[in-house]
Amino acid sequence: MRTGITTLKMKISHKHLSSFRDPSGYIFVDEGMVYRRVNASYFDKFTKLNDSGLYHKLAQAGDLITHEIIEHNESYLIIKPEQLGLITYPYEWSFSQIKDAALLTLRVHLNALDHDMILKDATAFNVQFHHGKPVFIDTLSFDFYQEGDPWVAYGQFCRHFLAPLLLMKYIAPDLNKLQVSYLDGVPLETASRMLPLKTHFSPFIKTNIHMHAKAFAKHKDTFETDKKPHLAKKTHQNIVTNLMQLHPGSETDL
Residue type present at position 181: S
DSSP conformation letters of 154-169: HHHHIIIIIHHHHHHH
- Same domain for 106 and 74? no
- Domain extent, residue 199, equals 90-246
Contact, 141 vs 75, CB < 8 A?
no
Q: CA 89, CA 65: separation in Å to the nearest integer?
A: 17
The pTM of the full predicted model, rounded to 2 decimals, is 0.87
- Same domain for 98 and 41? no
Pairing of strands 142-144, 117-119: antiparallel
Q: CA 161, CA 186: separation in Å to the nearest integer?
A: 9
pLDDT (tens place) for every residue of the chain, 254 residues total: 444 444 445 555 555 555 556 789 999 999 889 999 999 999 999 999 999 999 999 999 999 999 999 999 999 999 999 999 889 999 999 999 999 999 999 999 999 999 999 999 999 999 999 988 999 999 999 999 999 999 999 999 999 999 999 999 999 999 999 999 999 999 999 999 999 999 999 999 999 999 999 988 776 655 555 566 788 999 999 999 999 876 544 445 56
Q: 3-class SS at 206?
A: helix
Residue 1 belongs to some domain of the structure: no
Number of folded domains that form the chain: 2
Residue 109 belongs to some domain of the structure: yes
- Cβ-Cβ contacts under 8 Å for 178 (sequence gap 6 or more): 91, 164, 167, 186, 190
- Same domain for 115 and 163? yes
- Cβ-Cβ contacts under 8 Å for 45 (sequence gap 6 or more): 24, 117, 140, 142, 143, 144
- Same domain for 41 and 23? yes
Residue 7 belongs to some domain of the structure: no
